[in-house]
Amino acid sequence: MRKRLVAGNWKMNTDLNDGFLLLKDILNEVREAELEKCDVHIYAPFTHLKIFHNSLNGSGLMLGAQNCHQEESGAYTGEISAQMLASIPVQSVLVGHSERREYCGETNEILAKKVNTALANGLKVIYCFGETLEQRESGEHFNVVKQQLIEGVGHLTVEQWQHVTLAYEPVWAIGTGKTASAEQAQEIHEYARKIVIEMSNDGVADATRILYGGSVKPGNAGHLFSMEDIDGGLIGGAALNGESFAGIIRA
């Protein structure tokens, strides 16, 4: 049985004060009983991580960063390394979010390096993938997803897979209010799990969590999470409010 996971990706939202208030709100809303059935991760801005680590101590929630650089260290002005994150300590990192693929030119090849560097520094990884509207409308979505998976995480060993979660985020559903139907999402999740068998083996495919992301709200989360291959959600907008984030965790 795969344990459910609900992760909040705060993106570039909240300053330190507002972020701290939101974190307190979330901690008040998320009751311990819910954490037994569902893991909860918070992917906060870099500036918040140290103070959040102190506040999350003993809460059962896992703290993550939204990105790390692919190289270990060096002359990369303005970048943050996996080792820096691990030293906070942060436990997990998002790799391959569509916004970074689109705005920062992150290719599957760069992302494969980021995954390796993150894992080598003891971080867990949520690897994001998903097609654009144009790719879906032209019927390329299965190929796009397959390529993102094979080139980004196709090289992982069975041991490394234990620290990796996948997140299917169709670009056309992110921040648009246009959720993929539970059936549309399930179709890709089932396909992605088959690709994991090809890349690794049945046991890994069975154990790997695949999250859905894209306009998840308390009202649609239950139906999405009832699908066989959907193991939880990566939440953007609805993670910026304690009550709605907790509503999704309850779902």
User: Where on the chain is the footprint of ligand 13P (CB under 6 A)?
Assistant: 9, 97, 169, 174-175, 213-216, 234-238
Q: Closer CB to ligand 13P, residue 165 or residue 215?
A: 215
CA distance linking residue 185 with residue 197, whole number of Å? 19
- 140 as an active site residue: the answer is no
Q: Closer CB to ligand 13P, residue 122 or residue 175?
A: 175
Residue 210: strand pairing partners: 166
- Report the chain's terminal Cα–Cα distance, integer Å: 18
Active-site option among 99, 106, 131, 169: 169
Q: Least Å distance between CB 156 and ligand 13P?
A: 21
Rounded alpha-carbon distances, angstroms, from residue 243 to 29, 31, 240, 246: 7, 12, 9, 5
Q: Least Å distance between CB 129 and ligand 13P?
A: 12
The one-letter amino acid at 49: L
Nearest residue to ligand 13P, by Cβ distance, number only? 236
Q: Least Å distance between CB 198 and ligand 13P?
A: 26
Estimate to the nearest angstrom the gap between the alpha carbon of 137 and the chain centroid.
Answer: 25
Q: Least Å distance between CB 144 and ligand 13P?
A: 17
CA distance linking residue 251 with residue 243, whole number of Å? 12
Active-site option among 41, 48, 97, 189: 97
What's the Rg (C-alpha) of the chain?
17
Q: Least Å distance between CB 121 and ligand 13P?
A: 22
- 69 as an active site residue: the answer is no
Estimate to the nearest angstrom the gap between the alpha carbon of 61 and the chain centroid.
Answer: 14
Q: Closer CB to ligand 13P, residue 149 or residue 238?
A: 238
Helix (DSSP H) and strand (DSSP E) numbers for the chain? 13, 8
Q: Closer CB to ligand 13P, residue 204 or residue 233?
A: 233
Q: Residue 113 class from Cβ within 10 Å (0-12 exposed, 13-18 middle, 19+ buried)?
A: middle
Rounded alpha-carbon distances, angstroms, from residue 228 to 111, 163, 188, 222, 223: 28, 21, 12, 12, 11
Q: Closer CB to ligand 13P, residue 91 or residue 170?
A: 170
Residues assigned a catalytic role: 97, 169
